[in-house]
Amino acid sequence: MTALKPNYRRARKLALEIEALRNVLDEARGDPSYDADDIEDLKVELRDLEREFFLTGVSSEYEL
């Protein structure tokens, strides 16, 4: 039985995407031009990216 190695390259890329999306989400919460559906879409996308990050096998962004 072999263990899979963490995919650090993919995790670094996802960490950058997650950080950028968190910034967009913070700005969207303070911007009246975004409606609740837009903000919810951003939250869903963030959860998807965080799930992908988890699947890389890297336990946290501090490990990068």
pLDDT band per the 50, 70, 90 thresholds, residue 1: very low
pLDDT, position 3: 66
What are the tens digits of pLDDT across the range 2-12? 567 899 999 99
The C-alpha atoms of residue 46 and residue 7 are separated, in whole angstroms, by 19
Query: Does residue 59 have a pLDDT over 60?
Result: yes
What are the tens digits of pLDDT across the range 16-51? 999 999 999 999 999 999 999 999 999 999 999 999
